[in-house]
Homo-oligomer: A and B are copies of this chain.
Amino acid sequence: MPPLKLPPDSLDLAQILKASGVKATVQRLEIYRELSGSMQHPDAEAIYRGVRRRIPTVSLDTVYRTLLLFLKLGLVSSLRLPHERIRFDPNLTPHHHLVCTRCGRVQDFTHPDFDALKVPEAAQSWGVIEKMQVEIRGQCERCARQTKPGRSRSLIQTKEEPK
């Protein structure tokens, strides 16, 4: 169901980096490999843990710096969720997100109706559009299932609260 993992395999990533005038270090290649091999929209920490299995001496700072570099080069995108760290997305193809507000899982999806959407005129006159993306929030099936029915976490009390 998730769209397929896209382009730059680590082989031509080296080319891209060089063409961009930056060095193709082993750290950068491994960080990209770690990110592009994940469907989870991981944060810098998760990528750090993964890369460290292959480069035990890599520093978290290098991971952050490298991901920022990838962003600047347009090789990845980022997204932010409430109360969470910056997360990174190697999928550059147009797509949308399903976000679980409980466990934080983010899943890509595409849909013909969404792809057919035209940028509204009001947006055109607002400025120069770069990207249009739909975000659907809710609870994934697993999280929804483990919610105890009748036990609301709301602070809002219904009219009659027995004391």
A positions within 8 Å CB-CB of B: 1-4, 19-22, 68, 71-74, 78-82, 86, 98, 100-101, 107, 109, 111, 113-114, 117-120, 122-123, 125-144, 152-157, 161
Contacts and interface: CB of A to CB of B under 8 A. Distances in A.
A26 to B, nearest CB: 20
A98 B78 contact: no
Q: How many identical chains are in the complex?
A: 2
Contacts of A82: 78-80, 86
Nearest to A75: B156
B131 A1 contact: no
A125 B139 CA distance: 11
Contacts of A73: 154-156
Contacts of A131: 136-138
Contact of A134 (B86, B128, B133): B133
Given A3-B156, A119-B136, 7 more contacts: A20-B155, A20-B156, A74-B153, A107-B126, A126-B138, A129-B137, A130-B138
A16 to B, nearest CB: 8
Contacts of A154: 1-4, 72-74
B109 A120 contact: yes
A153 B72 contact: yes
Contacts of A138: 123, 126-131
